[in-house]
Amino acid sequence: MLISYKFRIYPSKTAETRLNEQLELCRRLYNKLLEEVNKARKKGRKINWKYTQALIVKLKQERPELKNAQKFCRWWIIS
């Protein structure tokens, strides 16, 4: 039997702002990686985990705001 739970959180304004910032960074990083991976596939390159890791490093150097993305977010995007 499957049991599921739903939890409702009520963060403070500052915590809510921080969560929204992290979600926005995650979204931007995911979309940019997806765009880069699609470009690479069109050019016939093979895509692997190391390639996406290298892309994240490159994107973090190009866009300093992505350095603030949490490690979990970057890990989740690659998985």
* pLDDT at site 76: 61
Tens-of-pLDDT digits for all 79 residues of the chain?
778 888 888 989 999 998 898 888 888 888 888 898 899 889 998 888 888 888 888 888 888 777 777 666 666 666 5
Q: Could you count the other beta carbons within 10 Å of the beta carbon of residue 56?
A: 19
